[in-house]
Structure 1
């Protein structure tokens, strides 16, 4: 690190796989002021793993359309990547869990309809804005047991094994990755 006037000039060596997501973190830390350039130097031996995210994910347990009611009830479990009314399927990643384990949730559950209703209670749901990822942010976010699914209309995160039973059976494959 060497000062150049009011600026700091940093040079370091980092594996190419470590650059994924670094630009976003540097720009966030410097409030958009950083300028980052990189150049390939050489192939080198493996130097170990790069730490990933610390939290688990919220995974959909059913196929269907998300409801404001279910997202509102699950907001205390983490932050969501989907909004109400979006079509989802089993195994799709819905959000980030506040704890370090994955949690299977039902985001398509509707409110039980009864004749007894309090006036105006359906309008009181306050849902936090869904987190949206760029492709680079999604690549940084996923773990070894997850995929990014890209279609012309959307980009979704999902588990490799869609059903909970398949994920439990194959969990040992991803323990040390």
Structure 2
């Protein structure tokens, strides 16, 4: 019980792979090109707050609505699937119907950072690790998220338009694979 650096490191690596902020760079750059604004600080602290809240209240909250974690994961995976299709085929499905020109909450906070994959992973980690270690691992990940979001223009300049195009297609396929994996693994448990 208590702080365990091995648990923190393991939880950090798992969450880093699931959040995959570097894989989201092409999506975020694409939104900036459409003049969608976002606040790196707000996106970071809102994501952290949501994930910590879900760590403590997730299972009970889903139970309140009669939704199990598998159904929630499939729903989130469908949103990721749509984002992946947009990235791969260069078409717009996600309608810009928000009240403002802000992309901070949707899709940056949800589902890119704090999405179904993150929530499912948080509940899985809770079964194995101490809560304090998960929170520390989440915090470290959010610091990295903030750094990437704050330096998105620098990353864009360094990679260039051609690099962004290739990254967008490549990470679109990765995102599609994650969405399919989430759907298949959770549909299996829903069917049984």
TM-score, normalised with respect to structure 1? 0.26
Judging by fraction of residues, say which structure has more strand: 1
TM-score, normalised with respect to structure 2? 0.24
Judging by fraction of residues, say which structure has more helix: 2
